[in-house]
Structure 1
């Protein structure tokens, strides 16, 4: 198998997480908007649909090479990286040292998920 094929699921997971992050947290940029909550929920569901269009193929492809637990840990690590970038660039929130240290702990989890004992 070509090495690019092995990385394809990771690219799909990143795209999937961008959509899901916007679906879950994008509305927080407009906290003071007068849009009814049910409209916000419908918009978020619409965005989340595209998340599934990338997530499901990513998991199906990656499951040929990785255990389900490994997939979940990879997914969580990607989620945190995407969220970190999103919160700083889109929501204009500060990125604190304790967040960075937490992310390193998650990367440690990824390392141990793939470590052969």
Structure 2
């Protein structure tokens, strides 16, 4: 499996954990104290870091820092939209499409040329 494929898979899993760490408590646990939510989020975030750190190390062998960051942002949105719509029952808005198109423009500028570190 290529370094980019491994990076993408690890970042997808990492972002799933982080999205739940940041927003999952909003669905069922708003009645609990914020510090309880923070402690639970830190526990979930540990797994995010166990995936994110190796993903970035692997990705940095073939991508520039800017490319790696832009890849992270695209994956974040790709994970967040289904989370918001399916898990949090938020309406699917056209704004998600516009945000995605803006990110695609950013991806174009960061990745144009080649995939070697700058």
When normalised by structure 2's length, the TM-score is 0.90
Ranges in structure 1 where 5+ consecutive residues have no aligned partner:
none
**How far is the alpha carbon of 1:30 from its aligned partner?**
2.1
Runs of 4 or more above 3 Å deviation? none
Deviates most, 82-91 or 96-105: 96-105
Residue equivalent to 2:107: 110
**Mapping for residues 1-117 of structure 1, pairs under 5 Å:** 4-6=1-3, 7-30=5-28, 33-116=30-113
Please provide the CA RMSD for this pair: 1.4
Counterparts of 2:39 and 2:83 in 1: how far apart (Å)?
21
How far the C-alpha of 1:108 sits from its partner, in A, is 1.7
Write out per-residue CA displacement over residues 60-107 of structure 1, whole angstroms, 9 at most, x where no aligned residue. Answer: 001000001110000001001100010001000011112211111102
For residues 73 and 31 of structure 2, what CA distance do their matches in structure 1 show?
A: 33
Structure 2: segments with no counterpart, 5+ residues: none
Taking structure 1 as the reference length, the TM-score comes to 0.91
- Work out the CA distance in 1 between the residues paired with 2:24 and 2:37: 10
Question: How many Å separate the matches in 2 of 1:107 and 1:23?
Answer: 26
Matched position secondary structure for 2:36: helix
Q: Matches of 1:87 and 1:115 in 2, distance apart?
A: 31
Matched length: 113
Please give the alpha-carbon distance, in whole angstroms, between the structure 2 residues aligned to 1:15 and 1:104. Answer: 23
